[in-house]
Amino acid sequence: MSVGIVETQRLVVTDTEPLRLVCGAELAHVEVAYETYGVLSPARDNAVLVCHALTGDAHAAGMHAGAAKPGWWDNLIGPGKAVDTDRFFVISTNLLGGCAGTTGPGSTDPATGRAYGLDFPLLDVADLVAVQRRVLDRLGITRLHAAVGGSLGGMQVLQWALEEPERIERAVLVAASARLTPENIALSSVARAAIMEDPDFRGGRYAEHGVSPRHGLKVARMLAHVTYVSDTALRAKFGHRRDSGPGDMRLTADFEVEHYLQHQGTSFLERFDALSYLYLTRPMDYFDPFATVAEREVGTRFRLISFDTDWRFPTAHSLHIRDCLAERGIAVDHTEIASPWGHDSFLLQPPGYHDLVADHLAR
């Protein structure tokens, strides 16, 4: 069952005051793209916030009119699904810094009339959360039944629940991290170098020059994609199959896994912006909420889920979150799910995963 045809909506969250960011800068105009599914109860106590990962958007469930594919978490959200829209009012917002309707580095700076480019201020995960908080304020939701997110989405949920636990009853973090490893940072750094050192990046003003760092962004995505899947998954899906016959060789794509990566890289160019890629990967590198958010009494009940083949944010990251929460006396459960699909498992449906989400929301 699907939530059916949906539409992305927009609202301005700086109508009463500018948004002051962690870095000290202020944004005078922030618009947010969001979607909602299900019906808010009269008591306003059934709201579930869904936080998207690096390259997600507000369109988490249902179909846009005329579209070929549903939202990115449609297998999780809908009538009778783990995040049951017969029961919950689900809100999904596009992140600050994104490129799918919410204000980001590609938006027009009202102060200059030009796109921000690299003049857009650097973002902290706390800033992403601050914008979502304003969206909920506008929708009249003071307390969430739950907040749910995978990868960077889970990092937002963690930040929020530590900052303002009285507002989130249940937190679900899937394949998340509270602190990237040097290797994680290194991999993101290569992706950013691919973009920023592309001659067509033009210091971030590529749109004004009618060009785009397509080469760099494609390579960044291909690299990232390898880290989102697992060797197990690639073996199962592609094995060593290739176009060329025995004794034949070529330098360009030949193995099926190469064609797949080429497709991933090229199709990404149609849906994502290079500046947003920079601005949304970087907050992950600096993320360290157990060091930056002061300890306080937290009533939120946490559910952590990780996947055994995830090598981008392996189970050790979830265990670290579990230990840090336990140290603060916060209620937390963690389960490692067996899945061949690596980090991407959070978008898929390996056995047991969705049941854990449903159970936690029902507690």
Answer for which of 15, 17, 166, 197 binds a second copy (CB under 8 A) is 197
74 annotated to bind ligand: no
Identified catalytic residue from 145, 188, 310, 317: 310
CB of 293 to a second copy, least distance (A): 13
Q: Does 26 bind a second copy (CB under 8 A)?
A: no
Q: Are 171 and 161 in contact (CB under 8 A)?
A: yes
Answer for which of 59, 167, 218, 301 binds a second copy (CB under 8 A) is 218
Whole-angstrom Cα distance, residue 132 to residue 231?
A: 36
Site for a second copy in 108-147 (CB under 8 A): 118, 122, 124
214 annotated to bind ligand: no
CB of 318 to a second copy, least distance (A): 16
The answer to whether residue 45 is catalytic is no
- With residue 279 as reference, give the H or E element that holds it: helix 274-286
Whole-angstrom Cα distance, residue 216 to residue 200?
A: 9
Cβ-in-10-Å burial (0-12, 13-18, 19+) of 210 comes to: exposed
Answer for which of 13, 146, 219, 332 binds a second copy (CB under 8 A) is 219
Closest CA to 150 of 203, 88, 208, 75: 75
Closest CA to 89 of 76, 105, 77, 98: 77
What DSSP designation does 347 have? G
Q: Does 319 bind a second copy (CB under 8 A)?
A: no
Identified catalytic residue from 145, 343, 354, 360: 343
Helix (H, G, I), strand (E, B) or coil at 73: coil
Q: Which stretch binds a second copy (CB under 8 A): 154-162, 184-192, 297-305, 321-329?
A: 184-192
Q: Are 309 and 339 in contact (CB under 8 A)?
A: yes
In the complex with a second copy, the residue whose CB is nearer, 23 or 28, is 23
Answer for which of 39, 186, 326, 362 binds a second copy (CB under 8 A) is 186
Q: Does 294 bind a second copy (CB under 8 A)?
A: no
The answer to whether residue 343 is catalytic is yes
Q: Does 257 bind a second copy (CB under 8 A)?
A: yes
The answer to whether residue 310 is catalytic is yes
Report which residue type is found at 45: D
Residue with the two structure tokens 């360290």: 288
Pairing of strands 301-307, 170-174: parallel
Sheet of strand 31-37, all strands in order from the earlier edge strand to the far edge? 9-12, 31-37, 89-93, 47-51, 146-150, 170-174, 301-307, 332-337
Site for a second copy in 228-247 (CB under 8 A): 230-231, 234-235, 238-240, 247
Q: Are 6 and 63 in contact (CB under 8 A)?
A: yes
Binding residues for substrate: 221, 344
Q: Catalytic residue positions?
A: 151, 310, 343
- For a second copy, the binding residues (CB under 8 A) are 22-24, 118, 122, 124, 179, 181-183, 185-187, 189-190, 192-194, 196-200, 215-216, 218-219, 222-223, 226, 230-231, 234-235, 238-240, 247-253, 255, 257-258, 261-262, 265, 278-279, 282-283, 285-286
